[in-house]
Structure 1
Amino acid sequence: MWRNYLTVAVRALAKNRVYAGINIVGLALGLAACMLILLYVRYETSYDSWMKGADRAFQVQTDYKATPQGGEEMHLQMSGIVVGKTLQKDYPDQVEKLVWVRGFSPIVIQDGQAGEIEDLRMVDGNLFEILDVPFVRGSGATALPDTNSIALSESEAKRRFGTLDVVGKTLTIVDNMGNVDYRVTGVFRDWPKNSSFSANAVARFDLGVQFADRMGQVTGWDNQQGWNFVRLRSPEDAKLIHQRMPAFEKRNIPDEVTGDQRRNPGEYQDYRLTNIRNVHLGDAQDAAVRPGNDRLTVITFAIVALLILGMACVNFTNLATARASQRAREVALRKVLGASRPQLIVQFLGESVLVTAIAMLLALGLVELSLPAFSAFLDAQLELHYFGAGGVALPAIGLVLLVGIAAGLYPALFLARFEPAKILKANKSAADAHGSGILRNALVIGQFAVSIALIICTAVIYAQTVYAQTADAGYRRDGLLQVGNLGYRGVDNRDGQVAEQLRRIPGIEAVARSQIGVDPGNNSMSRVFLPGSTTQTVDIGDYAVEQDFFKAMGMKLLAGRLFSEAQGKDDATTPPPSNPAYQAAVQALIQRGLNVVITQEASRRLGFKSPQDAVGQRVRTEAGNDNGLIELTVIGVVADARFRSVRDPLQPIIYTMRRNGFGDILVRFSGDPAKVREQVETVWKRTIPQVPFGARFAEDIVRQQYDQETARGQLFAAFALLAVVIGCLGLFGLAAFTAERRTKEIGIRKVLGAKTRDIVRLLVWQFSRPVLIANLIAWPVAWWLMRDWLNGFDQRIALTPLPFITAGALALLIAINTVGWHAFRVARTSPVQALRYE
């Protein structure tokens, strides 16, 4: 019996090559897309699962609540040094191991040559006792046994020494303590890409020695400079600590007093333990370690993949029911010869599984061919294994059975219900009289609803990404070079010399050092009292800049004036906090007061009706390090500048002018960008040769800010194209069979005077109606999805009808072109041949 079923199935496929080809290609495309996306989803959800003991490794994260004072909601992977130390002290029975990690990019001297190690992590303990990474030389247990020891990754060891046998060798790191020798104690395997943490080197240092000159950063609860990692004795201990966290915060976090106001940081910030496996898809994202992802995005792609696979199944169902008339007599004869309905259902389900199996083989070939490019596009380590852990052989077999049964069940039930007497008695197949095609139309509507929704999503994502990259940011992106690495110890005070020499280069229009630049990695906030109030404050960004900062950034002055070195009250320069003269300088500054320039958003939050009203007004803010309050006089208001992504809220800013303590040099230029960068690099290497040169153009930085949105839009575009192709394959097959079934009807219409264009219009309209109805379903769904997505941006495009109308018109045009050829070919057939049909 099974042999007979197989023979019949193969003959049926061979006899109807177009039908078989459409089904197999459509299913193969759907299965390939589904498998690629499921590989991606499995990869995204597998982060850090490879690590031994990952269930007990946690990261202490900080959550900031939105406050009435203007503080924005933020989720940070970082937490203060004191947070981890206090957790370990309060919960010794739960916290087995604690290590604080600092991201650092110091100068590294090897054989007298200065360089740098990308992703160097400084730790105050043995990090490998928490994050268990495999070692190729030494072991995690013996790595970093004491201060001034360092472990290198395989790649870094080979890059620096040309071999993995580096244990015992020495590297010199230049930090705030000077030149310190570190002894290599081990070599670990390169951190896999599916890790939320990365490091090319991990060096152990003495926390007390490193922060001896700034102990306030060790004890400050609101000071995040690194990451706290803990190993708990049991994964369940995290729940216990979370339950007691409010009491922990109330017990340990001291009140902050500013003027007459007392506030506890615990009121607007919370701490939580996040398992290392949940960091990548968590709320807190930190591109400084390794860019994470959005859990909703991963789920969305999984749903889209399943929808595309469902569209392929719909094709199978539609085409199988459409050609039921061709197999009606076969069913009737089998029933006459004794076949039962269950046997017929099994036969047709077997044919469906056979088609799906052939499609799966083709899909696996497509996956193999496209996986390298897909992995490179996503910057992921996607791998396809058939057997073993993570193998796809069993899931593929399961998918074949599931898809085969899902796609073939209704056609099997539909075909098996035919009554032999009616079919064998009739001059034409009784199958033609059954049903009105409502189900087929509904499935076609569903297919094109998915396609149209994906086209709309693609258009909106693309438009928002372009808008984010090109919208007025409040400064000029073109002709702006941003030079970093001013935080190195080797820079000392020579960054001022670099800036002065750059101003002499032809083509450079303005140069300014600054604590803030495009896509800043820092976030400095101060509490500012509202005018005339001793209790009400707002949180406003506070950054120091040089006099020509606004000219270099190309920012617009709205009211008042900008900074001038000729005005003594404009200058906020003080010695570093480690300098004995610091306290006296701060007190002198408090006595004198300070002129500041604020942004339009800062003016609004301080309660001024217009930029002009803000000029000349005075406010007070904390002077830092509990030195009291300083009076600020607003001398100018500039346009808001969006230095960060449009996803982040626009930050109100108070600018102060000073001559030290900067992180970037901003260079405004005209002419050839490559030549200007080369000239800037020459000046840098001549002045500060021991410090690596790092500079990027503002346009490149902004483009990189939206890489994730760009990639997401491209993936949606690929899915939309694939959905349209699969939908058109089904429409093509339906049009072919429908035209064939209506050959005699068309012949009669032509005899009665119908013209070719009338016939074409009749057939095209039949398949256009489902597409028009699909718009009514796709538009509200796409609007709801894109509205929520756009609401994640602080600055966004308006959701206009244009992408909806365009997507609907495009889908309709594609559908018309798909069926138009069949309609035209059948409409031109001679009536004589049509009436001799059957």
Structure 2
Amino acid sequence: MNRFALVSLYRGLIRHPLYTAVNVGGLAMGIAVFILLGLYVRFETSFETWLPEHQTVYQIQNEWNLPGSPFNGVMPNTPSGLLEMIQEDFPEAKGTRILTSGKIIHNGVATSENIAHVDPDFLDIFHLEMVHGDARTALRDPANLLLSEAAARRYFGSANPIGRTLALSDGEDAQPRKVVGVFRDLPANTELDFTALTPMKGPAPDDMAMWRNLGALTLTTYLRFDTPAQARAFSQKLPAFVERHGGDLGEKPSDTLRYLLTPIADLRLAPGGKASDSRRQTIAMLGLVGLLALVIAVVNYVNLAVARAGLRAREVAMRKVVGASRGALIRQFLGEAMVLVALAALVGLILAELGLPLINAAADLSLILPYGVVLPVLALLVVVIGAVAGFYPAVLLSRYPAALVLASARSPGGGRAGARVREALVVLQFTLATGFIIAAGVLFAQMQHVRSADLGFQREGLLIVPAMTDSSLSESQRL
């Protein structure tokens, strides 16, 4: 765009301030809603993707078919000895287990901590980032302990925790553990829930039968495969594995129990994951609402741009009289549309930044705007929306004969075809707005149901106390 086109755009904006506010403000609001809801959906669907080589790690889940039992369905826990039994039948299998339990005792004070008892090769499967210590040897000694950065600060402040000792208690006598490493705190988008790692103890001789019982669900088991094809091939071997080891499950064990291999990146929204069916529906609904908000704003913008295009017919005719070509006029209208969309995108980004703290406070999140992702998306929106909004008015106006327009008593409006285009846009806009209202109503009804549903017990006045010796409890609370 040249200087004269920019001056013409500026004069048009200040001459019609209401049009400018409605058009730019409406599109900006749609872009802001799209950004905010897109960030939430992106967060909910990004669980475990932070983990290096996450696409090669699968969780073994149980699918039970027990007629008349309330325990049917998919469950994430498996028997303690399942990994050992798998490796006995399939020596090439690589995996690890996680059992979370116990407390840490420091200076005579017991603190509940998410202590993960894992296999020695756990860090070969889950490549956690180490701040201090050697991941290759950190879990080889049963007396070793790894802490997260936050846990290390809680117990040792700014002092170096390496070589220090903490006592672990899992209901029995406290056992000393030497801190040999510190790993990065787990991010918010993960279902892994631990602040300390220590090697897992094997079973006592009297516990061996329960250790290998397919119905004793105590911990989570993970396997690593180099390719999805290997995972699918291994999954086909699991029914025969259940038949060999599930003798106490009836005549046909594989009819009662089926093992599923679920990629860890899918666990959040997979059956049996922490996200319930209603939560999955809510996430899908919010994504649809964000997309609808953007589409409605775009249609509104295009509709207003097309409706206003006829008012500029005489301006176009005068430009043709003084020598403007049709190509120059098309470039001017497309440029003006993209400048307006860019302005709306900037305002929408500002609104999103202002609204993000409110979203975080309402949903107890810590979302941030990733400008490396948001800015390219906004740039694409500017080009696409600007082209869509400016193409029809540009082609429509640039084809008018200058003499006919100047001789006419009123500005042309595009004829019957132009009227049909505007009517179609209005119908589409109101259809999408109606769908938006319905979706918002359904979402509100679901949230109200979740908040008011009868859980089967009185929630008011109840406290959850992990341990009476927890350091977070005051003396009066312990009494």
Normalising by the smaller structure, the TM-score range is 0.7 to 0.9
2:100 matches 1:103: yes
In the alignment, what sits opposite 2:355?
370
Task: Summarize the Cα distance change of 1:480–1:319 in structure 2 as closer, same or farther, 3 Å threshold.
Answer: closer
1:124 to 111, 119, 122: 119
In the alignment, what sits opposite 2:76?
77
In the alignment, what sits opposite 1:278?
266
Task: Summarize the Cα distance change of 1:102–1:264 in structure 2 as closer, same or farther, 3 Å threshold.
Answer: farther
Task: Summarize the Cα distance change of 1:379–1:85 in structure 2 as closer, same or farther, 3 Å threshold.
Answer: farther
In the alignment, what sits opposite 1:5?
5
In the alignment, what sits opposite 2:304?
319
In the alignment, what sits opposite 1:247?
240
The answer as to whether partners of 2:242 and 2:257 remain within 8 angstroms in 1 is: no
Q: Match for 2:412: what amino acid?
A: A
In the alignment, what sits opposite 2:329?
344
**RMSD of the alignment, in Å?**
3.2
In the alignment, what sits opposite 1:185?
180
Write 1 or 2 for the structure with the bigger share of helix.
2
Q: Match for 1:444: what amino acid?
A: V
1: CA distance between counterparts of 2:453 and 2:260?
37
2:288 matches 1:303: yes
Which range moved further: 46-55 or 438-447? 438-447
2:319 to 323, 328, 334: 334
Q: Secondary structure at the match of 2:154?
A: helix
Q: Match for 2:64: what amino acid?
A: Y
Q: Secondary structure at the match of 2:163?
A: coil
How is 1:506-585 mapped onto 2 (pairs within 5 angstroms)?
Answer: none
How is 1:337-416 mapped onto 2 (pairs within 5 angstroms)?
Answer: 337-386=322-371, 390-416=372-398
Task: Summarize the Cα distance change of 1:84–1:471 in structure 2 as closer, same or farther, 3 Å threshold.
Answer: same
How is 1:60-75 mapped onto 2 (pairs within 5 angstroms)?
Answer: 60-65=60-65, 67-70=66-69, 73-75=72-74
Task: Summarize the Cα distance change of 1:49–1:471 in structure 2 as closer, same or farther, 3 Å threshold.
Answer: closer
1:26 deviates by 1.3
In the alignment, what sits opposite 2:254?
266
Give a deviation string over 1:750-780, Cα, whole Å, max 9, x none: xxxxxxxxxxxxxxxxxxxxxxxxxxxxxxx
Q: Secondary structure at the match of 1:166?
A: coil
In the alignment, what sits opposite 2:410?
428
2: CA distance between counterparts of 1:269 and 1:74?
10
Task: Summarize the Cα distance change of 1:482–1:266 in structure 2 as closer, same or farther, 3 Å threshold.
Answer: farther
2: CA distance between counterparts of 1:437 and 1:323?
12
1:61 deviates by 1.7
2: CA distance between counterparts of 1:479 and 1:49?
38
Q: Secondary structure at the match of 1:163?
A: coil
Give a deviation string over 1:429-469, Cα, whole Å, max 9, x none: 23286558444344334333333333333334434444454
Give a deviation string over 1:227-248, Cα, whole Å, max 9, x none: 1122334454212212333333
Task: Summarize the Cα distance change of 1:132–1:413 in structure 2 as closer, same or farther, 3 Å threshold.
Answer: same
Q: Secondary structure at the match of 2:81?
A: helix
Give a deviation string over 1:227-274, Cα, whole Å, max 9, x none: 112233445421221233333333332243xxxxx4444213321222
2:443 matches 1:458: no
Give a deviation string over 1:724-770, Cα, whole Å, max 9, x none: xxxxxxxxxxxxxxxxxxxxxxxxxxxxxxxxxxxxxxxxxxxxxxx
2: CA distance between counterparts of 1:59 and 1:447?
45
2:230 matches 1:230: no
Task: Summarize the Cα distance change of 1:429–1:108 in structure 2 as closer, same or farther, 3 Å threshold.
Answer: closer
Kindly, what percent of the aligned residue pairs are identical? Answer: 33
2: CA distance between counterparts of 1:476 and 1:395?
47
1: CA distance between counterparts of 2:319 and 2:71?
73
1:285 deviates by 1.1
In the alignment, what sits opposite 1:443?
425
Q: Secondary structure at the match of 1:283?
A: coil
1:149 deviates by 1.8
2: CA distance between counterparts of 1:149 and 1:286?
30
Q: Secondary structure at the match of 1:214?
A: helix
In the alignment, what sits opposite 1:35?
35
1: CA distance between counterparts of 2:224 and 2:158?
33
The answer as to whether partners of 1:285 and 1:292 remain within 8 angstroms in 2 is: no
In the alignment, what sits opposite 2:88?
89
User: 5+ residue gaps in structure 2?
Assistant: none
Task: Summarize the Cα distance change of 1:294–1:322 in structure 2 as closer, same or farther, 3 Å threshold.
Answer: same
Q: Match for 2:110: what amino acid?
A: A
Q: Match for 2:458: what amino acid?
A: R
2: CA distance between counterparts of 1:112 and 1:432?
84
In the alignment, what sits opposite 1:201?
196
How is 1:135-214 mapped onto 2 (pairs within 5 angstroms)?
Answer: 135-163=130-158, 165-209=160-204, 212-214=205-207
Task: Summarize the Cα distance change of 1:113–1:52 in structure 2 as closer, same or farther, 3 Å threshold.
Answer: same
1: CA distance between counterparts of 2:279 and 2:442?
18
2: CA distance between counterparts of 1:224 and 1:54?
24
2: CA distance between counterparts of 1:292 and 1:161?
42
1:471 deviates by 5.2
2: CA distance between counterparts of 1:76 and 1:187?
31
Q: Secondary structure at the match of 1:171?
A: strand
Q: Secondary structure at the match of 2:269?
A: coil
1: CA distance between counterparts of 2:166 and 2:154?
13
Q: Secondary structure at the match of 2:10?
A: helix
The answer as to whether partners of 1:194 and 1:381 remain within 8 angstroms in 2 is: no
Task: Summarize the Cα distance change of 1:349–1:35 in structure 2 as closer, same or farther, 3 Å threshold.
Answer: same
Higher RCO (C-alpha 8 Å, min separation 6): 2
1:199 deviates by 1.2
The answer as to whether partners of 1:286 and 1:292 remain within 8 angstroms in 2 is: no
1: CA distance between counterparts of 2:451 and 2:9?
55
Task: Summarize the Cα distance change of 1:164–1:207 in structure 2 as closer, same or farther, 3 Å threshold.
Answer: farther
The answer as to whether partners of 1:76 and 1:286 remain within 8 angstroms in 2 is: no
The answer as to whether partners of 1:255 and 1:264 remain within 8 angstroms in 2 is: no
The answer as to whether partners of 1:109 and 1:173 remain within 8 angstroms in 2 is: yes
In the alignment, what sits opposite 2:208?
215
Task: Summarize the Cα distance change of 1:242–1:222 in structure 2 as closer, same or farther, 3 Å threshold.
Answer: same
Q: What TM-score do the two structures reach when normalised by structure 2?
A: 0.88
The answer as to whether partners of 2:100 and 2:194 remain within 8 angstroms in 1 is: no
1: CA distance between counterparts of 2:230 and 2:459?
52
Give a deviation string over 1:801-837, Cα, whole Å, max 9, x none: xxxxxxxxxxxxxxxxxxxxxxxxxxxxxxxxxxxxx
2: CA distance between counterparts of 1:344 and 1:192?
52
1: CA distance between counterparts of 2:241 and 2:392?
60
2: CA distance between counterparts of 1:263 and 1:82?
22
Q: Secondary structure at the match of 1:172?
A: strand
Task: Summarize the Cα distance change of 1:52–1:286 in structure 2 as closer, same or farther, 3 Å threshold.
Answer: same
How is 1:752-791 mapped onto 2 (pairs within 5 angstroms)?
Answer: none
Q: Secondary structure at the match of 1:399?
A: helix
The answer as to whether partners of 1:79 and 1:228 remain within 8 angstroms in 2 is: yes
Q: Match for 1:333: what amino acid?
A: M
Task: Summarize the Cα distance change of 1:466–1:127 in structure 2 as closer, same or farther, 3 Å threshold.
Answer: same
User: 5+ residue gaps in structure 1?
Assistant: 257-261, 491-676, 687-838
Task: Summarize the Cα distance change of 1:470–1:55 in structure 2 as closer, same or farther, 3 Å threshold.
Answer: closer
Give a deviation string over 1:627-670, Cα, whole Å, max 9, x none: xxxxxxxxxxxxxxxxxxxxxxxxxxxxxxxxxxxxxxxxxxxx
Give a deviation string over 1:333-375, Cα, whole Å, max 9, x none: 3344554444333221111101011112222222222233333
In the alignment, what sits opposite 1:605?
none
